[in-house]
Structure 1
Amino acid sequence: MNVLTGGKLKLVQAALRLITESRSLTSLGLRELAREAGLNPNTFYRHFKNLDEFGLQVLGYIAEDMKSGVRELRRMAESSEQASHDTVAFVYRYFQSNPAATTVAVRELHGPSPLLRRALEAQLHASAREMAEDIIERQLVSAVPPETIHEISRMTIRYILFRAMDYNEKPEQREAIQQETERFINRQFRGAMLDNLSQTEVEALARKYV
């Protein structure tokens, strides 16, 4: 893990303070960043070659800050339902406490910098892979094939990212959004379990619970 310290950390944290609904990572000026961080403007180029490289560090900082907590929750979960509940609650609370992180992640996924778009795509893919690996290792949904778990994990990561904007901007809907997200995840895995059953087995299950 690349742990930021000193001037690098101050600049990254300054960027996250300056980003608002109307301002993106790529719109920040170097002098403004340095002033917010309490550093000399020349300090920026001692740490970063350009704004794209700086953007990569900001994205990496957000990802590492959040993923470490999520992984620990999934490893403690005793069921897929508990894993989805704890993960969704943690991620939404993180984005609520760090609204700039949500703004950066959503905007840069479709932003002007190809380098940052690719970097964010790679981070989303890495988060989904870690989620799938944790689920497989803990055998939380043993009836679902590994390739399907990876597919659902990729869908889940993107779903949570985009719902995070609504979660932050609509406080009166937060509980409903969290519950909706949990249902989305659980339904994906339950549906995947049915994929492995024959039509006769599916119909037998349906009769059992009618």
Structure 2
Amino acid sequence: MNALTGGKLKLVQAALRLITETRSLTSLGLRELAREAGLNPNTFYRHFKNLDEFGLQVLEYIAEDMKSGVRELRRMAESSEQASHDTVTFVYHYFLANPAATTVAVRELHGPSPVLRNALESQLDASANEMAEDIIERQLVSAVPPETIHEISRMTIRYILFRAMDYLEKPDQRAIIQLETERFINRQFRGAMVDELSENGLQALLNRQR
């Protein structure tokens, strides 16, 4: 659950209401934001030093809103396939229910503010680390080395975000996009398991020939 309250919460929620397909977080004006939140414009500076600090709070709000649900699903999964299916379903449904959050995440990753770009990159890396740790802890792909699990997790998080706008903007293709995303994740882990088994098998063959 998010701990934001009062004016901070109102401003963050106002920003998410104002963001549309043609507007990004960094394009919002302070007066417009305050008016949407039902606050005096001067209230903004009682809570935030500048727009970058406000943007960081918006990104944190979005991340915290999603993380706990995703982790709970992964911790209940009995297989890597179930984990990927449940995670992709939850995340895409979250994006569908919160399109402004998706727009913020996709646009600010390549937006004009280096502060927000770096913060979003850090959030993606943190989500990838949590994903990898959950997979390792549950031994969902035990044949794959931890460093490879972390590598695949980083690719997975970015792939899901890459497909997020397609999922929102192409309702007739949502089932296909979800299936493709699950296949992408599963193929990465299966490929890593095959690589690991192949390397071990080759080494065993070389050892027998010595």
Q: State the TM-score bracket (shorter-chain normalisation).
A: over 0.9
Counterpart position of 2:31: 31
Q: Deviations along 1:22-53, whole A, 9 cap, x unmatched?
A: 10100000010011011111110000000000
Which secondary structure does the structure 2 equivalent of 1:95 belong to? helix
Residues 70 and 200 (structure 1), Cα distance of their counterparts in 2 relative to 1, 3 Å cut? closer
Q: Distance in 2 between matches of 1:59 and 1:199?
A: 41
Offset, 1:3: 1.7
Contact 2:2 2:65 in 1 (8 A): no
Q: Deviations along 1:38-72, whole A, 9 cap, x unmatched?
A: 11111100000000000000000000001111000
Q: Distance in 2 between matches of 1:200 and 1:111?
A: 44
One-letter amino acid of the counterpart of residue 153, structure 1: S
Using structure 1 for the length normalisation, give the TM-score.
Answer: 0.94
Identity rate, percent: 89
Counterpart position of 2:16: 16
Offset, 1:192: 0.2
Q: Distance in 2 between matches of 1:181 and 1:110?
A: 22
Q: Deviations along 1:69-112, whole A, 9 cap, x unmatched?
A: 10000001010000000000000000000001111001100100
Q: Deviations along 1:116-137, whole A, 9 cap, x unmatched?
A: 0000000000000000000000
| Structure 1: runs of 5 or more not aligned | 203-210
Counterpart position of 2:164: 164
The number of aligned residues is 202
Offset, 1:152: 0.2
Offset, 1:197: 2.0
Offset, 1:201: 5.1
Task: Give matches, 1:24-173, under 5 Å.
Answer: 24-173=24-173
| Structure 2: runs of 5 or more not aligned | 203-210
Offset, 1:199: 7.0
Q: Distance in 2 between matches of 1:127 and 1:3?
A: 19
